[in-house]
Amino acid sequence: MARRESARGLVRSRLFDDPEERRAFNEGWNEKLFAGGWICAGWPVEYGGKGLTLLQQVVLNEEFAKAAAPMRADFFGDTLVGPTILQWGTDEQKREFIPGILQGKIAWCQGFSEPDAGSDLASLKTTAVLDGDEWLINGQKVWTSQAQHADYVFLMVRTDPDAPQHAGISYLLVPMHQEGVEVRPIIQVDGSGDFNEVFFTNARCSKNNAVGGVNNGWKVAMTTLGFERGSNSTTGYRRFLKEWEEIVKEAKRLDKNDDRLVRDGLVRAWEKVKIMEINGYRSLTDSLNGTHNTALLGACNKMFWSETHRATMELALDVLGMEAQILTGSGANDGSITRVHRGRADYPVSDLQGSFFFSRSETIWAAPRRFSATSSVSVRSDCRRNPSRKKCEPIDASR
């Protein structure tokens, strides 16, 4: 309770309604989080965190989510690669990277997916070859969020082409600001460019930047993916609930809230949001019980929310009717860090229109149905063949 009240007091005292006040405040948000010890609060105290337990982190995330306050300085840094370095990294890697992540001074992106290696990640073709004291990197990544702003990328590369598919991969920390790295934005229908292609042409990083050792990258990467879930599992549904509430508001404004088809669609959408919330608690329970069904739950959850979001945003356009065919957004960014602003100034989509366009891509990058179904079956089959196993995860193809 004390932790909840402390977090609640922070976010209530730090958020503003006035756009100018909010813009000025946002510039120093990371510094304020760091000063209060709220960045990476679940990290061990010796590395600058508060040493919060998983449940305490859940409480913290819930309070920030209720206030629509941004919890993280850099999701990729403090939630994904930071904990991965703490678990797998050398002392030298921790000294070099952890302080910058903790202070929100290093921006990161994730270099996993490739044009021919999305769902089948282990088939990646980007290579890294030792050249003296450095890795020489060549290849391409795709769907790379925030690459245009990143200082570093945690990169999956093939370092042993003769090893079994999963065994010849390494996990490198590569600087983005160098001549051998080219970032090309993937322009969405609404003009936004959240995703990028990243091309590596003789790019370099230190040979000491292989996290977890050379050719052990698959295990390290699975750890990173596991950190995506857990402490934020009970708050992920909130953005979908907020959009649902906006659709209800539009239905009332357009006098469609008494339409049977609209009401039926809204009820079905609300039911699915509640299922997302319940799925989040399932993931949290899995983490607390140590049953390690992360792969199975993650595949099912991603497939469910991505397809649900796409259907819900189609409902939003049905509710808006012909009004959805014109651009109704302001085209201006109010400086908020509590929500994502989509679209360009010369293509002013509303929040619902922007979410509609974005939802079309989510069923591609989040969890294609074919892969998710196959992944889930693989996990279940492995558990059935080994009923005594407490840990049920996909079979390690490198063995």
What is the predicted pLDDT for the residue at 38?
A: 80
pLDDT band at 320 (very low <50, low <70, confident <90, very high): very high
> Catalytic residues, which ones?
228
Asked if the model's pLDDT at residue 211 lies above 90, the reply is yes
Between 396 and 141, residue with greater pLDDT: 141
Query: Of 21, 47, 107, which Cα lies nearest the Cα of 72?
Result: 107
Arithmetic mean of pLDDT over the chain: 82
Of 279-288, 303-312, 348-357, the one with minimum mean pLDDT is 279-288
Distances (CA, A) of 106 to 73, 78, 146, 165: 10, 10, 12, 32
Q: Are 175 and 327 in contact (CB under 8 A)?
A: no
Asked if the model's pLDDT at residue 368 lies above 80, the reply is no
Between 26 and 135, residue with greater pLDDT: 135
Between 192 and 61, residue with greater pLDDT: 61
Average pLDDT over residues 321-329: 91
Q: Are 112 and 221 in contact (CB under 8 A)?
A: yes
Average pLDDT over residues 245-251: 97
Residues 48, 56: Cα–Cα separation, whole Å: 16
What is the predicted pLDDT for the residue at 392?
A: 43
Identity of the highest mean pLDDT range in 91-95, 355-359, 387-391: 91-95
Asked if the model's pLDDT at residue 375 lies above 50, the reply is no
Amino acid at 162: D
What is the predicted pLDDT for the residue at 104?
A: 79
What is the predicted pLDDT for the residue at 178?
A: 97
Angle at 67 between CA 64 and CA 68, to 5 degrees: 80
Distances (CA, A) of 10 to 17, 54, 74, 209, 336: 16, 20, 19, 37, 18
pLDDT band at 384 (very low <50, low <70, confident <90, very high): very low
What is the predicted pLDDT for the residue at 119?
A: 65
Asked if the model's pLDDT at residue 374 lies above 60, the reply is no
Helix residue spans in the chain (DSSP H): 2-14, 19-26, 29-35, 54-66, 82-88, 91-102, 217-227, 238-253, 260-289, 294-320, 351-365, 369-385
pLDDT band at 4 (very low <50, low <70, confident <90, very high): low
Residues 223, 217: Cα–Cα separation, whole Å: 10
Of 58-67, 127-136, 316-325, 349-358, the one with minimum mean pLDDT is 58-67
**For 95-99, which contacts have Cβ atoms below 8 Å and span 24 or more sequence positions?**
97/152, 97/173, 98/47, 98/48, 99/48
Asked if the model's pLDDT at residue 3 lies above 90, the reply is no
Render pLDDT for 229-246 as a digit per residue (tens, 0 to 9): 666 677 889 889 999 999
Residues 108, 82: Cα–Cα separation, whole Å: 10
Q: Are 314 and 356 in contact (CB under 8 A)?
A: yes
Average pLDDT over residues 67-79: 77
Q: Are 171 and 159 in contact (CB under 8 A)?
A: no
Asked if the model's pLDDT at residue 162 lies above 90, the reply is yes
Of 258-272, 354-368, 370-384, the one with minimum mean pLDDT is 370-384
Asked if the model's pLDDT at residue 388 lies above 60, the reply is no
What is the predicted pLDDT for the residue at 297?
A: 80
